[in-house]
Amino acid sequence: MGQQQGYPQQQMPQQGVPQQQVPQQGAGQQGAPARQEQRPAAGQPSGPGPDGIDWEAEAAALEAGADPAAPVDGGEHAEDEWDGHEGEYAQDEYHEDGAQDDGHGGFLGAEDDSREAKKKRKEKGKKSGRRNGGACLVVALVLLGAMGGAGYWGYGFYKDHFGPPPDYAGPGTGSVNVEIKPGAAGTQMGLALKNAGVVKSVDAFKAACDKNVKCSTIQPGAYSMPKEMSAEGAVQFLVEANGGEKLIIQEGLTSTATYVKIDEKLKLPKGTTANVAKEQVNSLGLPAYANGNIEGFLWPTRYSITEGMKPEDLLKQMVKNAVDRYAGLDAEASKIGLKSGYEVVIEASILQAEGNNKEDFAKMAKTIQNRLADKGKVNGKLGMDTTLQYALGTKNLEKKDINDGSNKYNTYINPGLPPGPISNPGDDALKATLNPADGKWLYFIAMSPTQTLFADTDTEHANNVKAYCTAAGQKFDPIAVHCTTK
């Protein structure tokens, strides 16, 4: 070995090491304990030198005639033997009879320290090293796999948190109805589209909406759109649909007038939608409190029309829009002296049918509520033409109609609200009903689309009605304070 070649054994100093302290056992026996009993001579250093070899112990061993191959603390032979033991300790195999086939001898016997046994143990250690090397390779592969998995997870985390939002590619397929509610911004529209399966994420739609300057022009309504389309394509679809095929239901239309518009838009025979509404009234989504009356539940807004659309599909959309809007009205009704949210809808429908200018809605709402609460002059009677005209299906009222108390919609005779709505009110009428103006009015009459006259006294109101009848070319009945054709 390199260290032994650099320091010839015959030149090692031998003085200063008493002979009686040199272990006498053979090299085949373990000599480490004996060497631990050695004591250095006075004034002489002992133990390994700077090069890691105890030269005094080496010299003493040579002088005593020990085998030069025997292990000496810090020597290279000791390292060689330990290498062999390392393989042995890792790979020893024991036979059933307790013997160990590794050159050591019996399980508890003396260790065979012959050169043949050492060689055998060393070869065994090398095999063990190769096996250990294979195990290290497996561990390395596992670590590389784990690092690869961590890298994939990290990429997914980056993509989810810092990359572009999830989005579909292409124009999409199929068709699904989506409702864009009034006042909906990019995020609200994106949520409606995602829930319907049109876009993959709200963030993708919001980003596409922010890039398209026309996104703010998208109108509320029901749209028939493809599923799984790109966010950019969805924005463009909604923008272009504004000028496409659509049906607009105005505030204040009756159900009968709405049926006619649906038939015309879907190119159906007259009366088709009316028959569908009558036959399928229980499957259109009406609430129980409506008692099967669809009037007031055909929400006025814009609806998209597609080829082959059925009237029941439109009716269901309208009903759903109304029911959603009316949610929570019960809690507000008592604040204005009404019994339920349904009564709020009824009053709003009268307001919508009577009023021409929405700027006057709050004053009209207060007038209606003043009459309902009055127990003197009008005794809770509304005295509205519109309620009776709705029930009779005509605007031309005769004296006998006004005097017919059997008609529950005759508010000249019957106090309180009629049994149901008389039109489909919009947001303005509902808000005015819930937030009436402050005043003592008991009368009003819409003189024109932009002018409504209000009055506190009977005389003042009679003069207003007479002026209206004259302008309309009708006769004035001073007793009924009403216009009449006969």
What pLDDT, on the 0 to 100 scale, is given for residue 131? 56
Residue with tokens 């504004």: 242
Q: State the average pLDDT over residues 167-190.
A: 87
Domain-ending residue, one of 215, 244, 273: 244
Q: Is 127 part of any domain?
A: no
Q: Is 99 part of any domain?
A: no
Q: Are residues 258 and 358 in the same domain?
A: no
Q: Are residues 383 and 460 in the same domain?
A: yes
Domain-ending residue, one of 305, 326, 347: 326
Q: Is 389 part of any domain?
A: yes
Q: Are residues 458 and 405 in the same domain?
A: yes
Q: Are residues 60 and 188 in the same domain?
A: no
What pLDDT, on the 0 to 100 scale, is given for residue 449? 82
pLDDT, the chain, mean: 78
Q: Are residues 239 and 309 in the same domain?
A: no
Q: Are residues 201 and 345 in the same domain?
A: no
Total structural domains in the chain?
Answer: 4
Q: Are residues 309 and 335 in the same domain?
A: no
Q: Give 298-337 pLDDT, tens digit per residue.
A: 999 888 787 678 999 999 999 999 999 999 999 999 999 9
Q: Are residues 316 and 337 in the same domain?
A: no
Of 133-147, 338-352, 378-392, least confident by mean pLDDT is 133-147
Q: Are residues 361 and 476 in the same domain?
A: yes
431: part of which helix (H) or strand (E)? Answer: helix 427-434
Cβ neighbours around 328 below 10 Å, total: 8
Distance CA 292, CA 277 (A): 10
* Long-range contacts of residues 476-485, Cβ cutoff 8 Å, at least 24 apart: 477/399, 480/399, 480/402, 480/412, 482/385, 482/397, 482/402, 484/397, 484/398, 484/399, 485/396, 485/398
Q: Is 429 part of any domain?
A: yes
Residue with tokens 């309504």: 221
| Confidence band of 175 (pLDDT split at 50, 70, 90) | confident
What pLDDT, on the 0 to 100 scale, is given for residue 420? 97
Q: Give 378-389 pLDDT, tens digit per residue.
A: 999 999 999 999
Q: State the average pLDDT over residues 392-421.
A: 94
Q: Are residues 342 and 475 in the same domain?
A: yes
Domain-ending residue, one of 306, 326, 346: 326
- The tokens for 34 are 């004996």
- Between residues 165 and 60, which one has the greater pLDDT? 165
Q: Are residues 185 and 305 in the same domain?
A: no
What pLDDT, on the 0 to 100 scale, is given for residue 163? 73
Q: Are residues 185 and 263 in the same domain?
A: no
How many CA atoms are closer than 13 Å to the CA of 155, on its beta-carbon side? 5
Strands 246-248 and 302-304: antiparallel
Q: Is 163 part of any domain?
A: no
Q: Is 193 part of any domain?
A: yes
The domain in which residue 424 lies consists of 331-484
Q: What is the CATH number of the domain that holds 205?
A: 3.30.1490.480
Q: Give 7-30 pLDDT, tens digit per residue.
A: 444 444 444 444 444 444 434 444
Identity of the amino acid at 146: A
